[in-house]
Amino acid sequence: AFPDFVRLVEVGARDGLQNEANPVSTAIKLELIDRLGDAGVSYIEAASFVSPKWVPQMGDAREVMTGIQRRSGVTYAALTPNLKGLESALECGVKEVAVFGAASESFTQKNINCSIAESLERFAPVIELAQKSGIPVRGYVSTVMGCPYEGEIAPAKVAEVSKTLFEMGCYEISLGDTVGVGTPLKAKRMLEAVSQHIPMSKLAAHFHDTYGQALANLYAVLEEGIAVIDSSVAGLGGCPYAKGAAGNVASEDVIYLLNGLGIKSGINLEKLAATGDWITRSINRPNRSKVGIAMMAG
Ligand code: HMG
Ligand code: MG
């Protein structure tokens, strides 16, 4: 059955901007984060404490996380792949972090320079220190419906990595179709495998829209009871280690779909569409939200 309420995890400031070829100023990132909060988004992934040599665009994570005008009721989260990242995040007063693994060996190697097993070993002390510091940890699993290097990924492998991260202490597992190759039936089968081990209420859908299937895939998993959706305003983004992968599903499109289904989100679609229009103009990018384009034209 469909959920009554969906929590939107807005990843535009992180996933949306991490792949931008031209530098985006800290000031623009901070204004984006502020506008998203004003539109009613309650969970904003704002930065990434990764190596600036690997992802230069996230090199101002400290400035971003300390510069946010915090709103009550809004969670501002950051990615922390290792202890070094978590320690920096803690210094900046970050209140929630995420580790990111994958169901594909090759993708894990390209993305974080280690095997799946090594990645889980690295995450253990990160999760432990975060928990000691009272910081909830979200866990990402990438390539859940296919890998840019290996092709098909078995749902059982997705379930295995997800279950391990969940048992290690991640409070929620976000299932990433990193390359955006999934289709609805595949999404359901993958979710079926994972939800045998983890309650549906602890799972999130993080779908990229490379092949234009993300909304259809979301509809399929909403029907199964998924109630947390990751998305990016104006459909910004792409993964630096998944060549050719497009941005996340656009937040405006997701909210329009939810509104049509009578599912609440607490988000003001007009303000969200205006934010998508503003950020794409600011960084000189096409708006990839069909809803955003239609609303701004009308
Ligand atoms: P490594 O080279 O194996 O790490 O990289 P290392 O520990 O050997 O360190 C190498 C250098 O990086 C050292 O500097 C460290 O200090 C530095 P040097 O001595 O050479 O000057 N370093 C750091 N600097 C700042 N912050 C840190 C940090 N850690 C090490 N936290 C590492 C391993 C994970 C760091 C690297 O591979 C990396 O940063 N990768 C970036 C991966 C990334 O950001 N990918 C995109 C996000 S994931 C994604 O988009 C998918 C998702 O959206 C879900 C989906 O769509 O599926 C989440
Ligand atoms: Mg992503």
Tell me the DSSP string of 9-45. EE-TTTTTTTT-SS---HHHHHHHHHHHHHTT--EEE
Q: How far is the CA of 237 from the centre of ligand 1 (A)?
A: 18
- Taking the C-alpha atoms of residue 159 and residue 144, their distance in angstroms, rounded to an integer, is 9
pLDDT at position 241, please? 76
Q: Give which of 171, 158, 148, 166 is closest to 102, Cα–Cα.
A: 158
Catalytic site positions: 239
Ligand 1 mutation target, pool 14, 50, 137, 175, most atoms within 8 A of CB: 50
pLDDT at position 28, please? 98
pLDDT at position 81, please? 98
**Which residue has a Cα nearest atom 16 of ligand 1?**
51
pLDDT at position 242, please? 72
Return the sign of the alpha-carbon dihedral for residues 57, 76, 237, 67.
Answer: negative
- Give 30's Cβ-side CA count (13 Å radius): 14
Q: How far is the CA of 286 from the centre of ligand 1 (A)?
A: 29
As a whole number of Å, the CA-based R_g of the chain is 17
137-169 pLDDT per residue, tens: 999 999 999 999 999 999 999 999 999 999 999
- CB neighbours of 92 closer than 8 A, spacing ≥ 6? 61, 62, 65, 66
- CB neighbours of 174 closer than 8 A, spacing ≥ 6? 9, 98, 138, 139, 140, 141, 203, 204, 205, 206, 228, 230
In short, whether 140's Cβ falls inside 6 Å of ligand 1 is yes
Q: Give which of 280, 200, 186, 185 is closest to 232, Cα–Cα.
A: 280
Strands 172-177 and 228-231: unpaired
**Which residue has a Cα nearest atom 33 of ligand 1?**
112
Verdict on whether the full-model pTM lies above 0.95: yes
In short, whether 142's Cβ falls inside 6 Å of ligand 1 is yes
pLDDT at position 21, please? 87
| 127 class by beta-carbon count within 10 Å (0-12 exposed, 13-18 middle, 19+ buried) | buried
pLDDT at position 243, please? 76
Query: pLDDT in tens for each of the 298 residues of the chain?
Result: 999 999 999 999 999 999 898 889 999 999 999 999 999 999 999 999 999 999 999 999 999 999 999 999 999 999 999 999 999 999 999 999 999 999 999 999 999 999 999 999 999 999 999 999 999 999 999 999 999 999 999 999 999 999 999 999 999 999 999 999 999 999 999 999 999 999 999 999 999 999 999 999 999 999 999 999 999 999 999 767 777 778 999 999 999 999 999 999 999 999 999 999 999 999 999 999 999 999 999 7
Percent of the chain with pLDDT over 90: 95
- Give 121's Cβ-side CA count (13 Å radius): 5
Instruction: Provide the token pair at 285.
Output: 């990018």
pLDDT at position 69, please? 97
pLDDT at position 175, please? 99
Q: How far is the CA of 196 from the centre of ligand 2 (A)?
A: 24
Per the CB < 8 A criterion, the answer to whether 181 and 143 are in contact is no
Percent of the chain with pLDDT over 70: 99
